[in-house]
Amino acid sequence: MDLLTNAGIFLYPLALCSFVAVAITIERLLALRDSRVMPGHLLAAFLAHDLDNLQGDAGSVAGRIIAFNKERRPDVEGLNAFARLEVSRMERGIFLLEVVIGVAPLLGLLGTVTGLTQVFSGFSADTGLPEPAAFIRGIALALNTTILGLAIAIPALVAHAYLLRRVESLAARISMAVQVLINEKPRA
């Protein structure tokens, strides 16, 4: 608890960074589940090139691509463009993790500099010694903001790397599905 109380005014922007990182991570983990991108039955159908009974739906990325292909019968470029649009929707919000990764340690550094400024401004001109209370407050601010900034940025970095890798993996599946749809021969 001392960690939070000794962070001073920097606690509020650091708490905001923490909230954004947690919210984006949870939202993207839920949005990037297999059932929301390419459910198992659709993946199996694409792998087996069994497209006769595929039905599009709005509940998954692959379902929207199938529906778009059936309703509009786009050319190759149109289908690829729609698939790229869906992949970009999967990346939605991940850039905010990059912002948190950059901002949280900088806020910690700003708190460090502010705390050290408090320490050095507390030295007495007469004795050359610091005032003990100002010294303790300044060092506590410096260390606690650094700890909090790094404690927020490191998990955000891990979440960012995982989510980007997850999007790449799912984008490869979508690319495979689009290629199967492109190679589908028109039926009479």
Contacts with 50 (C-beta within 8 Å, 6 or more apart), sequence order: 44
- Of 48, 47, 44, 65, residue with least CA distance to 56: 65
105-114, 155-164, 178-187: which has the minimum mean pLDDT? 178-187
The reported pLDDT for the residue numbered 188 is 38
Structure tokens at 74: 């786009």
Q: How many residues does the chain have?
A: 188
Determine the Cα–Cα distance for residues 171 and 60; give it in Å rounded to an integer: 13
The CA distance from 79 to 34, in Å, is 21
- 118: buried, middle or exposed (CB in 10 Å: 19+, 13-18, 0-12)? buried
Local structure of 26: helix, strand or coil: helix
pLDDT, one tens digit per residue, over 126-159 is 777 888 888 888 899 999 999 999 999 999 999 9
Chain segment 63-78, per-residue pLDDT in tens: 999 999 988 888 899 9
Instruction: Find the helix or strand (DSSP H, E) in which 153 lies.
Output: helix 132-183
Q: What is the mean pLDDT of residues 115-129?
A: 82
Residue 74 confidence (pLDDT): 86
| Ranges 13-27, 42-56, 98-112: which has the least confidence | 42-56
Percentage of residues in the chain having pLDDT higher than 70: 97
pLDDT digits (tens, 9 = 90+) for 23-39: 999 999 999 999 999 99
